[in-house]
A and B are shown apart, each in its own frame.
Chain A
Amino acid sequence: MSLVLEELSRRHNRRGFCCGVESLDYFIGKIAMQHAAKGISRTFVLVSKENKTVILGYYTLTPCQVHVDELDEKDAKDKPKTHPIPAGKLARLAVASDYQNQGLGTKLLVHAMEHFLQAQCAIGMCALFVDAIDENAARYYERFGFIRCSDNPLQLYLPTETIRKAYR
């Protein structure tokens, strides 16, 4: 099977996508096209060359802002107040149920990081964050070096420079 990555369009069978997580199926089925039209987020889908309507997997990248919580009032006084820092976020990544555990998720992640680097060149972003859907997914990202950084254990990041070096 020869795979291609394409930007989501009306040609793709968005309602037919099923990955086992309701919120991810709902997003691609009903929301992703609207978001793309409004410029809120962009979604890329993995399809086979033989049948380009069936979505095998997808990801959504969005810009985001990093808010760093101050340690405490006393500490915060000595330090300059940190403004929100621009970053990228892999808000969603999903593989269709019939195609899981075949490396498609990793392929999507690699493409997402490439797109992130391209965007980063133009506007500057300090890191790529991910919202993992569950603990298993969080561990998956950790295998590639993603770091936990929040009371929310499902939020991880990888510094931009680490990603850039990996592509060299």
Chain B
Amino acid sequence: MTGPRISARVTPETRDLVHTAADIKGVSVADFLAASAIEEAHRVIEQERSVSVSSQYADSFFAALKTPPKPNKALRKAIKEHRSA
């Protein structure tokens, strides 16, 4: 494949580790690195842009949206002290 190149310096141990893994998968080291990096990049971006509510919290989450708790004292005090306008 042609395209821009990304390179990184690693320790000899890391190089051996990557070679072994690429051999197991039966792909070239370059393909292995690219595929792994793309996968990890998608994971990181997904994590930045999404949050999850676990199933055991689902009911309490929807209840809190429907009937929002009143702001507590600490929050009111913080806003009174720090708000810009």
Contacts and interface: CB of A to CB of B under 8 A. Distances in A.
Interface of A: 5, 40-41, 62-72, 84, 87, 89, 91, 103, 106-107, 109-111, 113-114, 126-127, 129, 143-145, 147-152, 155, 157, 159-163, 165-167
Interface of B: 48-55, 57-58, 60-62, 64-65, 68-72, 74-76, 78-79, 81-84
Nearest to A162: B68
A110 B82 contact: yes
A145 B77 CA distance: 12
Nearest to B57: A149
B82 A162 contact: no
A167 B83 contact: yes
Contact of A91 (B48, B74, B79, B83): B48
A162 B69 contact: yes
A70 B54 CA distance: 8
Contact of B84 (A87, A114, A129): A114
Nearest to B55: A69
A69 B52 contact: yes
Contact of B68 (A72, A103, A150, A165): A165
